[in-house]
Amino acid sequence: MLQRSLSQVSGSPLGSIRHFGILLGPSLSIGLLLCATNTLAKPVQPPLDFPIAMTFGAFEKLKENTPAFNNRLDEQQPFPFIHLARANAAAAKNIHQRWPDKVVTVQESYGGIRTADYGLVWPGHLLYQPGTVITQAIGTEDTTIVVENAALLVKNNQRLQQISQKVPFALILYPLDADGKPDWSRAEHLILEAVDGQKLTVQRGQWGSKPQSFAAGKAVIAAHIMFWQQQWQLNFSLHGPRGGANQLTAAEWFAHYVADRLAQNDANGVEFDVARWTWGNPEGNPMDADNDRVADYGYLDGVNSFGLGGQVFFRELRHLLGPDKIIQADSNDAQFGIRGWQYLNGVQLESFPAANDFSRFSQAFQHLRLWAENAQALPRISYPFSKTPTTLYANAHTFDGNNTDNRFRIGLAAACLTGMPHPFASLSNINFDPANAALGTEKHEVTFGVFTWEEYSGGDLHNWHWLGRPISEAQQDLSNLGAIDWLAKANWQWAVAEGFTATPSQLAKHYAANVTRTPANTVLEKLIFGVKLTPSKVLHDLVGGQTYTLEFDARGDDTWHSNGQTFAQVPRMIAISGAVGTGQRKHPLSVLVDSHWHHYRLSFIADGTSAATFGIAEQVGNTEISNIKLFQGSAERWTREFANGMVLLNMTQTPWQTHVRKDYYRHLKGGQNPGINTGQAVTDELTVPPQDAVFLVKR
């Protein structure tokens, strides 16, 4: 059986698991030392034994000190990690009073301001779409405003009325100073009621602002960006203005806002929902980060000013909270998710893998491992969140009637392989993209609560830490891969599209390109492959629908200079074409690369093109790629040994027949999934079903 350890996969001499403290020797294991926020600041240590089960939003819609709340509190007893919705943050005190050693985090919106706090925000700190100039002067009593281009605000009145049924259509009205820049000191919030050509009917002086007079051609109206309903988005961009009571940027102001909220409860840390490097729907919700009335999508001077502004937020928040608080962010992939290793403990991958796209497990698992290895705040906590439909909790089946509980087992196995906690929530519909509120019309019912999977408790063992401590690193089995490197005779060429400037080079099997210019006012998806590395000759054509595995080494610039600031250890992104586009967002594979060489191994289902093309032009800077290889088959077969058992994960399309220590293990025994948790003894040969995981216990 051909195996490689996770250390070899990560490209690090110590490996991902060693880096975050899970295996330092034959008897040492996870060491997550946290400081609780009670008055004694008592250190909290999660259990050393696995699995580490976690509840997520279990108190949703429950009021404190009610019978239902108290019953739910009792149900938390076996779970060492507890994540609370923002509305239930006060429950952290109840939890720590009963169980001081539990780790409790609370959820916050990433730069989202809810209705109750609209009046707290200085108008210049908010994020807007491109605005339009008013063409007729208005006084304080006027409710009709004529503008130059109403289509910049809303497509038509029918669309306005559709939106207004759910949430008021919020506008900002601000004058221009002598230099043509926004004068936020006289800004006024409006509600748009109707649009007729270029005439707007509005409600004046909303959310604490007051009606004022504005001159024709000297004032601008723009629409608020609202990623979620009833949440105004802050402008984290480095090009956003300073202002407000303490002359802060939006990122700095929000750090204080969050720190103040966290100080009011007894939580160990905070996790930011759907933290975004860029928007998931940029053309439908265009961003004007520098308020020049032109859609820039957050990209200015060749770098993601909006994304880098998130580093300012995390830096300031870490300063305010200190080293012992957990700061996490929801970040599903390299392309759209948050970046930066310096200030975060890690990330949450919601609806793991890849928004429940199990064909993209390899990309998601790579993303999880990179964060688990490279996040610098301790303890490192990056976990896969199984938010998915299952047969047990949602009566969900595949199209051919098969049980879907394997989706849960895949997430738990990934958590055990990386030494991380694992939460679960039940989803009614698998076609769900947590990072893009604008996509999808199907109903998605989410049930948060307490889910007592038998894999958590060991089935008939009734032991919530039944696996015990890890005694090996995760091992990757490569027996499904073919022996032929399909790119062995490939000739690789750099291509630079119009509007881009780059200096490419190559030496033997090493390829580099320094991108120095990208087109302005262009969405991310149209930037990525502006500079690309393409094979001109391959040994065979790839067969659409078949699985292949791409291997390569890569590194790139991860220090950024923008608007007078410098940011280190913020990885860049490489995109890879050739994978079948699935789900509602048709995007390429993507990985994060930093200034250190990493080895990448991505398994994917081919879309029928000849071979993978690498796109590196998301931002300016240098990227290097070498040792590119391509094999037929999948590399996503994994094992890890624990003191009391073993976890095996098979994400290939075929059953995996493997060998384990003879007469040493048996299957878990349980009633939820008796077809796989049979309790039967294992001699030495074992079959792991395709896209499934098996949990074994020592006999």
Banded model confidence at residue 537, pLDDT cuts 50, 70, 90:
low
**Residue 466's closest CA among 78, 83, 102, 99?**
78
Average model confidence (pLDDT) for the chain?
A: 90
Overall average pLDDT of the 460-475 stretch: 97
Q: What CA–CA distance (Å, rounded) separates 338 from 256?
A: 20
- By the 8 A CB rule, do 49 and 281 touch? no
CATH 2.60.120.260 residue window(s) in the chain: 492-632
| DSSP code at position 324 | T
- With residue 309 as reference, give the H or E element that holds it: helix 305-321
Q: According to CATH, where is 2.60.40 located in the chain?
A: 644-698
Structure token pair of residue 592 = 């994060």
Q: List the beta bridge partners of residue 424.
A: 386
Q: Architecture of domain 3-112+236-477 in CATH?
A: Alpha-Beta Barrel (3.20)
Q: Which residues in the chain are classed under CATH 3.20.20?
A: 3-112+236-477
- 105, 268 contact by CB (below 8 A): yes
CATH fourth-level superfamily of 492-632: Galactose-binding domain-like (2.60.120.260)
- The predicted pLDDT at position 12 comes to 36
Alpha carbons 275 and 369: distance in angstroms, whole number: 18
pLDDT at 28 over 50: no
User: What are the tokens at 478?
Assistant: 């490569």
Within 8 A by CB and 6+ apart from 65, the residues are none
- Say if residue 249's pLDDT is above 90: yes
Confidence of residue 442 (pLDDT cuts 50, 70, 90): low
Give residue 542's pLDDT band: very low, low, confident or very high (50, 70, 90). confident
CATH topology for 644-698?
A: Immunoglobulin-like (2.60.40)
pTM for this prediction: 0.92
According to the model, what pLDDT value does residue 35 have?
35
Strands 299-300 and 188-196: unpaired
Indicate if the pLDDT at residue 666 is higher than 70: yes
Residues paired with 477 in a beta bridge: 3
The pLDDT assigned to 581 comes to 73
What is the DSSP code string of 34-91? EE--STT--EE---SSB--EEEESTTTT--TTSHHHHHHHHHTTT-SEEEE-GGGTTH
Helix H or strand E encompassing 532: strand 531-535
Q: Alpha-carbon torsion 636, 637, 639, 645, what sign?
A: positive
226 pLDDT tier (thresholds 50, 70, 90): confident
CATH architecture classification, 130-223: Beta Barrel (2.40)
**What string of DSSP letters covers 239-289?**
TSPPBTTTTB-HHHHHHHHHHHHHHTS--SEEEEET-BSS-SSTTTS---T
Crossing angle between the packed helical segments 361-374 and 406-418, to the nearest 10 degrees: 30
Residue 215 has pLDDT above 90, yes or no: yes
Q: What is the pLDDT of residues 336-345, one digit of tens each?
A: 999 999 999 9
Q: Residue 538 — pLDDT band, cuts 50, 70, 90?
A: low
Summarize pLDDT for 264-295 with one digit per residue, the tens: 999 999 999 989 999 877 888 899 999 999 99
Mean predicted confidence (pLDDT) in 502-515? 96
pLDDT digits (tens, 9 = 90+) for 73-98: 999 999 999 999 999 999 999 999 99
**Percentage of the chain lying above the pLDDT 90 cut:** 83
Check whether 149 has a pLDDT greater than 60. yes
| C-alpha to C-alpha distances, 370 to 46, 341, 377, nearest whole angstrom | 22, 10, 14
Condensed to tens digits (0 to 9), the pLDDT of residues 580-618 reads 875 555 689 999 999 999 999 999 999 887 778 999 999
pLDDT band at 227 (very low <50, low <70, confident <90, very high): confident
* CA distance to 121, 132, 353, 430, 663, per residue, from 452 (Å): 42, 54, 21, 21, 29
Query: Average pLDDT for residues 169-194, to the nearest whole number?
Result: 97
Higher local confidence (pLDDT), 609 or 30: 609
Return residue ranges of the chain for CATH 2.40.30.
130-223
Average pLDDT over residues 341-355: 95
Q: What is the pLDDT of residue 230?
A: 83
Confidence of residue 436 (pLDDT cuts 50, 70, 90): low
Q: 377-424 pLDDT, tens per residue?
A: 999 999 999 999 999 999 999 999 999 999 999 999 999 999 999 999
